[in-house]
Amino acid sequence: MPDWNIIQAVNDALRLEMRRDPRVVVLGEDVGKFGGVFRATLGLVEEFGADRVIDTPLAEAGIIGAAIGMAMYGLRPVPEIQFSDFIFPAFDQIVNELAKLRYRSGGQYSAPVVIRTPVGGGIKGGHYHSQSPEALFIHTPGLQVICPSNPYDAKGLLLSDMRQDDPVIFMEPKRVYRAARGEVPEGDYTVPIGKANVVREGRGMTVLAWGAMFHEAEKAVAEAPELDAELIDLRTLWPLDIGTVVASVEKTGRCAIVQEAPRTAGFAAEISAQIQERCFGFLEAPTARITGWDVPFPYTLENDYLPLAPRILQKLRGLAAYQP
């Protein structure tokens, strides 16, 4: 079984599905001969040709608009938005068209579009190449939002996404594109959408994270085994596996949520509200949100912005010590 990074896992998922299903097409800026800015589509145009691996102009609204039209007439497009920060010119197409297509057509049209996009900071990209906009799309009914943290999940979830009929925002944490490595089966397999992964069991507290911040949470938990933390990688942000979250919080009585995005109105706030609604009688402390700050993502101070392991650990120890 090969030891791959997330880029290699994504590339293999695309290649496998394009071989399996001739309706799958890839489109985006520089996805062809150049192989994408992070090389996730490298080699695909040589195998499948320019009719199925399509270099587009720098026009995100056009990329997604074209993908919607392709999906309505039988194709299964996988558009790439080069950085999630550039997705906003296509926001109208995604929110007002793609997300509502099945509903407004009474099921006559489906929208099997999987939008791949790198998210997050940590690569010295500055405020135009480092944002984490997941909450904006989770707030939009009709969209699934996925953010894997490792190569195994990236391949398995991407294959699952490409085989179902609802639109997906597939967010790839670029900070760990090559740093997160692991064994990945070369053949076909899927990871179920809507199922979180309990990576470490414990009874002291529940720690929830996703994407690149999962690795920081994992480091923090490993440094403090006395906390006996249960660590959960959400993987699928929406639909949220609230059953796994609730079962864990009912067992531990304490919960911390780690997100890279700014604090206010982030996805951690929604998770916290759902925990409060379902687990109020079990909670022994307020739910802790460990997040980015409510500022544009800073270039020179990105390590102060990101909720890295030392800040996470400090908050976890405070959560453990809390007494009502």
Q: What is the pLDDT of residue 85?
A: 97
Strands 168-173, 144-146: parallel, antiparallel or unpaired by DSSP? parallel
Contact in structure between 122 and 173 (CB atoms under 8 Å): no
Q: What is the pLDDT of residue 183?
A: 97
Per-residue model confidence as pLDDT tens for the chain (324 residues): 899 999 999 999 999 999 999 999 999 999 999 999 999 999 999 999 999 999 999 999 999 999 999 999 999 999 999 999 999 999 999 999 999 999 999 999 889 999 999 999 999 999 999 999 999 999 999 999 999 999 999 999 999 999 999 999 999 999 999 999 999 999 999 999 999 999 999 999 999 999 999 999 999 999 999 999 999 999 999 999 999 999 999 999 999 999 999 999 999 999 999 999 999 999 999 999 999 999 999 999 999 999 999 999 999 999 999 998
Q: What is the pLDDT of residue 255?
A: 98
Within 8 A by CB and 6+ apart from 204, the residues are 227, 228, 229, 230, 252, 254, 320
Q: What is the pLDDT of residue 323?
A: 92
* Domain range summary for the chain, segments of one domain joined by +: 3-183, 197-321
Active site residues: 129
Single-letter code of the amino acid located at 273: A
Query: What fold characterizes domain 3-183?
Result: Rossmann fold (3.40.50)
Contact in structure between 233 and 149 (CB atoms under 8 Å): yes
CA angle at residue 138 from 7 to 92, to 5 degrees? Answer: 90
Q: What is the pLDDT of residue 324?
A: 83
Domain 3-183 and domain 197-321 have a common topology:
yes
The neighbouring-strand residues paired with 55 are 28
CATH of domain 197-321: 3.40.50.920
Contact in structure between 11 and 43 (CB atoms under 8 Å): yes
Strands 229-233, 205-209: parallel, antiparallel or unpaired by DSSP? parallel
